[in-house]
């Protein structure tokens, strides 16, 4: 998970004419995409479209396929250039486990927009070709909702079954911190408006 201004990412990827600062940022993103491509090749992972090419196609608005994970990796690198350092929320074998957690939380009255299966896998704010598998998965949550999530999860913790209690507690702790950070940033005149989740 990381936090930042998603509007800056969208502007970078959709601008017809980029500023000098945007061009410098894009050059750094290209280097990170090339590094990821090299790492994948070394691991024997071959994508139909390279991550570097996927980035160029996203910037041009011309994805050449409807199904490839490279575009999600390219988008993530664009986010990483604008967002905070990532926080590791935990390790889960299957994204589908969160649907069971959704059922548990919903049973105790947690609103649908605060269920982990909703925000963890909601997708990016731009239309990307489908990754073609369960991972990588991208999700977002408005930073202004972090306090509500923390409040809600804390209120139901004691009623959750042990299987879900630790994960809910972890989300509540992280969101409590993010809510405080968001309020502090707004006081400084900045707006890290989005929490991004990257499941890979």
* Confidence at residue 95, expressed as pLDDT on a 0 to 100 scale: 82
Place 42 in a pLDDT band, splitting at 50, 70 and 90.
Answer: very high
pLDDT at 177 over 80: yes
The yes-or-no verdict on residue 134 having pLDDT over 90 is no
Summarised one tens digit per residue, pLDDT across range 48-62 is: 999 999 999 999 999
Task: pLDDT band for 90, please (50, 70, 90 cuts).
Answer: confident
Q: Which residue has the tokens 């049973």?
A: 107
Q: CA 89 to CA 141: how far, in whole Å? A: 14
pLDDT beyond 90 at 44:
yes
Crossing angle for the helix pair 70-80 and 20-42, nearest 10 degrees? Answer: 130
**Distance between CA atoms of residues 101 and 107, nearest Å:** 10
Measure the CA–CA gap between 138 and 83, rounded to whole angstroms: 14
> What tokens does 125 get?
């704010």
């Amino acid at each position: 998970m990381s936090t930042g201004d998603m509007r800056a990412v969208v502007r970078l990827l959709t601008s017809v004419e980029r500023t000098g600062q945007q061009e410098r940022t894009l050059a750094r993103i290209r280097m990170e995409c090339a590094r990821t491509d090299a790492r994948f090749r070394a691991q024997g992972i071959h994508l139909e479209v390279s991550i570097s090419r996927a980035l160029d196609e996203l910037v041009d608005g011309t994805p050449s396929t409807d199904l490839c994970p490279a575009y999600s990796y390219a988008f993530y690198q664009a986010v990483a250039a604008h967002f905070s350092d990532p926080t590791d929320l935990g390790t889960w074998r299957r994204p589908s486990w969160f649907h069971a957690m959704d059922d548990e939380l919903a049973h105790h009255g947690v609103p649908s927009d605060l269920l982990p299966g909703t925000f963890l896998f909601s997708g990016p704010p731009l239309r990307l070709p489908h990754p073609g598998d369960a991972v990588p998965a991208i999700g977002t949550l408005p930073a202004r909702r972090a306090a509500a999530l923390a409040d809600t999860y804390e209120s139901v913790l004691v009623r959750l079954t042990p299987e879900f209690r630790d994960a809910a507690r972890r989300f509540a702790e992280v969101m409590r911190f993010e809510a405080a950070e968001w309020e502090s940033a707004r006081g400084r005149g900045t707006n890290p408006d989005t929490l991004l989740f990257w499941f890979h």
